[in-house]
Structure 1
Amino acid sequence: MNISILVFGSQKFLTTLPDQIRYATAFSVEVIANLDQAVSHITMTPPDIIVVQASLDGSMELCSWLKDQPKLSWIYCILLEDRSQQIIDRGKYGWEWELEMTSSALKQGADAYIWQLPEGKTDYTLAELTANQRLILAQLTVGLRKAKKYRDLIRTNDLLSAIALADSLTELNNRRALEWDLPRQIQKAREQSLPFSLIILDVDFFKKVNDTYGHLVGDRLLQLLCIRVRHNLRFQDTPFRYGGEEFVILLANTTGEEASIVARRLNRIVSEQPFAINNQHTINITISLGTASLQSDDDEQGISLLHRADQCLLEAKATGRNKVIGWDHLSHVQYLKAAASS
């Protein structure tokens, strides 16, 4: 596990830390003494542990800011008290005052609050020096355990998310994944002023395959179909199993004309070669496809875009199947029909 530590403090402060931190080889250490720079660094590259010098300007602000960030609050923050006045008051007022200071530091966002040994004194015993260093390292160990648990949780969540968004039969992304990804791709296309299109395709007469050969053969056919389709898409095309024998393909940075080219190629590569289910069964199938491109008045979720592509798919199936119908073509046909009826 590659652990990273951010020291918010001066170079002089760094020299007071245990050698295991300063000369670490098992993890990386960054030193920053400016609050704005530290916040920028944490936001862009979150460390696992932060060691904060209490006397540095912005130290408590950093601890408080960190705990106010939902996505960063897991970072373990160790505040080292090195302010001379606080250390003097600690010796003057005793343990009750020390507990009050500790309570205040924890409330403001520190996960651990450790008193440094006062500067200027040179007659510390080896036991005193060792105890202080061991306390810092003990809190570092706590932070390391927390970082490991957090990373394990992230890996588990990523695995569960992948399972939830995958179709177990075809290994494509499922409809839930489409509903999550389509709005993202629409937003990206609009922000970058890029074209965006999609394809809806359906296997022609798939029910006949199931009725003739059984559902296991039908399932295997869908698997082979998805393999063939996936291997004939461009790198920016994203396929999804929409439901049953129906699939959606998102086409980033693709015009309506280009979408029709992609769709016609898929139509051809499916129909031109039979699918070998096993040694006994080889099945010929065709697919019908509808295409549509993003328009300025489409909703952010992509519902209207999907609807237009689906209308094209229905037209392809109604007019003979095994063909591609694009929205431009369908809207022109509908216009001519409306003009003729009037």
Structure 2
Amino acid sequence: MKRTCYIKSSTVEVSWELDDVIQLIKTRQPAILILQATQVASLQLCRQIKEQKLLGWIYCIVINDLPEIAIETMGRDPNWELKECAQALENGADAYLRISSISNQDSAISVAEHRLLKAQIHAGLRGVQLYRKAMHTNDFLSRIALVDPLTELSNRRAMEWELPRQVENAFRKSTPLSLIILDVDYFKSINDNYGHPVGDRALKLLASRLKHNLRIQDSLFRYGGEEFVIILSHTDTQEARAVANRVRHIISDQPFHIDRRLVLPITISLGVASLNKNKDDHRGESLLRCADQNLRIAKSNGRNRVYCCCNH
């Protein structure tokens, strides 16, 4: 369930469904995200956002609006609010607020709490505006350096910067990390039979389909030519294999409409590897090499398939 309203030239979207929130973040990139502390997924979502380079600037406010009577009934530790505040901040929240469930919105405490919330929102907007201004200053050079002009995805240089960062983060926090390299099957024949403009169009459509069907914690890059890399944070081998198979079906199950007259079926082969903290280096080079080897095996085994081997 989702609701949209407007407050002083700002659009406010309210949702009670996690999937709606994730889709909103991916497509709209809101300046401020207000999360309920009582929702189990809130802190996890907050942490995942802050770990993403392209989303970490979103200002996250965690609000606890649990009624006082519920707190008393649960017999919570007197210091529970301090602990919950610390937990929220440790998971990446920029602010933690307690909003009392008081029916009288004109009471002194209610007025003070809402004034504090308003102040936090304005503080968040100031920070986001400063960030956007700084990004706008360097946007042109950054796009040349880090964005693939054809697909508008992050490019190989961006991947070579991001992968070591995520690998180091996985080592430090003892969290799983996986990586997928995928390659468009028989892409050369598309260029040979239909010309390079059709090949370029196919890559743009494929990149768009990938981008809009990945999870919020997944980072997508055009590695070069018809190869793409997906970094899967907080994802073990079993989950990575499931993601890879889902991606394969997303591409192969629906043909690509190049134009009004040309429709092309496209398949991909995928190599999957997961971080082995006893064997892999901290820059992700061995992880990338393993995924590439698995991609070659997938292609040699007939293409349009996933190969995942975790014994590297």
User: TM > 0.5 between the two?
Assistant: yes
1:303 and 2:297 equivalent?
no
Q: Unaligned 5+ residue runs, structure 2?
A: 1-131
Which of 197, 207, 210 matches 2:188?
207
CA deviation string 1:241-289 (max 9, x = no partner):
0000000000000001100000000111111111000011000010000
For the structure 1 residues 153 and 326, does the alpha-carbon distance in structure 2 shift closer, same or farther, using more than 3 Å as the test? closer
CA deviation string 1:33-75 (max 9, x = no partner):
xxxxxxxxxxxxxxxxxxxxxxxxxxxxxxxxxxxxxxxxxxx
- Structure 1 counterpart of 2:149: 168
Q: Percent identity?
A: 58
For the structure 1 residues 152 and 204, does the alpha-carbon distance in structure 2 shift closer, same or farther, using more than 3 Å as the test? closer
Structure 1 residue 153, shift from structure 2 partner = 7.4
For the structure 1 residues 282 and 302, does the alpha-carbon distance in structure 2 shift closer, same or farther, using more than 3 Å as the test? same
Q: TM-score, normalised by structure 1?
A: 0.51
In structure 1, how many angstroms separate the alpha carbons of the residues matched to 2:160 and 2:256?
30
In structure 1, how many angstroms separate the alpha carbons of the residues matched to 2:165 and 2:139?
19
Structure number, greater radius of gyration: 1
Q: Unaligned 5+ residue runs, structure 1?
A: 1-150, 333-342
CA contact (8 A) 2:168 2:283 kept: no
1:240 and 2:221 equivalent?
yes
In structure 1, how many angstroms separate the alpha carbons of the residues matched to 2:293 and 2:215?
25
- Structure 2 counterpart of 1:95: none
- Structure 2 counterpart of 1:259: 240
- Structure 2 counterpart of 1:229: 210
CA deviation string 1:132-179 (max 9, x = no partner):
xxxxxxxxxxxxxxxxxxx97774334412331000000100000000
For the structure 1 residues 152 and 257, does the alpha-carbon distance in structure 2 shift closer, same or farther, using more than 3 Å as the test? closer
Which one-letter code corresponds to 1:313 in the other structure?
A: L
Q: How does 1:266-277 map to 2 (within 5 A)?
A: 266-277=247-258
Q: How does 1:37-52 map to 2 (within 5 A)?
A: none
Which one-letter code corresponds to 1:261 in the other structure?
A: A
Which one-letter code corresponds to 1:314 in the other structure?
A: R
- Structure 1 counterpart of 2:126: none
CA contact (8 A) 2:182 2:270 kept: yes
- Structure 1 counterpart of 2:273: 292
- Structure 2 counterpart of 1:180: 161
Which one-letter code corresponds to 2:137 in the other structure?
A: T
Structure 1 residue 189, shift from structure 2 partner = 1.1
- Structure 2 counterpart of 1:325: 307
CA deviation string 1:194-249 (max 9, x = no partner):
00001000000000000000000000000000111111100000000000000000
CA root-mean-square deviation: 1.7
Which one-letter code corresponds to 1:316 in the other structure?
A: A
In structure 1, how many angstroms separate the alpha carbons of the residues matched to 2:184 and 2:145?
25
In structure 2, how many angstroms separate the alpha carbons of the residues matched to 1:168 and 1:279?
24
Structure scoring higher RCO (CA < 8 A, sep ≥ 6) equals: 2
| Secondary structure at 1:322 match in 2 | coil
- Structure 2 counterpart of 1:219: 200
Q: How does 1:1-342 map to 2 (within 5 A)?
A: 155-296=136-277, 297-328=279-310, 331=311
For the structure 1 residues 286 and 154, does the alpha-carbon distance in structure 2 shift closer, same or farther, using more than 3 Å as the test? closer
Q: TM-score, normalised by structure 2?
A: 0.56
Count of residues paired in the alignment: 180
